[in-house]
Amino acid sequence: MFRKFAAALLASASILCATIDPAAAQSAPPVRMASNMGGGFIEFLFGEAPQGGRYQQPMYQQQPDVGFDGRRLPPMGPQGMYGHEAVEPAQRSVDPRYNKQVVEYHGKEGAGTIVIDTPNKFLYLVQGDGKALRYGVGVGRPGFTWAGVKTISAKKEWPAWTPPPEMLARRPDLPRHMEGGPDNPLGARAMYLGTSLYRIHGSNEPWTIGTNVSSGCIRMRNEDVIDLYGRVGVGTKVVVI
């Protein structure tokens, strides 16, 4: 009985092969051939086999994407990048109004004073004669904004970063210390404000300028913070409104 069934099956396979278009056959992907035509042959033809069969389809399990801290990352974007990195660079460009420019200034602060307009995300370096240099900045997230008068107490180029205990309590995944460099979140320059934990500093995320993004620090594009750094000294008055 088995011989008759096998002969009929092979005959059907021969008829099927005879009806295939030769041109289509040339473009078709190669067919996996069974190494043994024994008990697993039927399962081979239909692509499935029990655990003990001679042919078994490979199984793939999609693994979740995780970051360096072990947390699941957001879905990968169309450019093969995560989160905001999936956005095209043109879409991440800074609004031109946040470019450095000379503007009119009619406030009460004297020349050489830094004035930070938190709601509008601007930093002014007062020039006198009714003018000021204006830069775009990133400011604190909701709940992390502040106002007051400080002075620049220290200046550092390519500063190292040690997250304070308060920040580590909120973000235990952060590194305990990071040396200065292009990947450092403090960017190319930092100007420390009094004895507080706040700084005016650069950023390795320039597309965040003009947003509420920080834990209270004032961030600038690296080229802008380098420019400001060269114009002000320790002791400069900083008014945050």
Closest Cα to residue 128, out of 110, 102, 115, 107?
Answer: 110
Rounded Cα–Cα distance for residues 131 and 51 (Å): 80
DSSP state of 26: H
Rounded Cα–Cα distance for residues 217 and 78 (Å): 32
Q: Which helix (H) or strand (E) holds 14?
A: helix 2-18
Spatial CB neighbours of 199, under 8 Å, sequence gap ≥ 6: 186, 190, 191, 192, 193, 217, 218
Q: What is the pTM of this model?
A: 0.62
Residue 73 predicted with pLDDT over 70: no
Residue 92 predicted with pLDDT over 60: yes
**What phi and psi values does residue 117 have, to the nearest 5 degrees?**
-90, 95
* Position 98 confidence tier, pLDDT thresholds 50, 70, 90: very high
Q: Which domains does the chain have, with CATH numbers?
A: 65-91 (no CATH), 95-240 (2.40.440.10)
Over the stretch 10-61, which tens digit does the pLDDT of each residue have? 444 444 444 444 444 444 444 443 333 333 332 333 333 334 443 333 332 3
Q: Is the pLDDT higher at 124 or at 69?
A: 124
Span 117-130, mean pLDDT? 96
Q: Determine the pLDDT at residue 203.
A: 95
Catalytic residues: 201, 217
The least confident of 145-149, 169-173, 194-198 is 169-173
Span 67-81, mean pLDDT? 32
Span 72-90, mean pLDDT? 36
Residue 214 predicted with pLDDT over 90: yes
CB 157 within 8 A of CB 189: yes
Span 104-129, mean pLDDT? 96
Residue 101 predicted with pLDDT over 60: yes
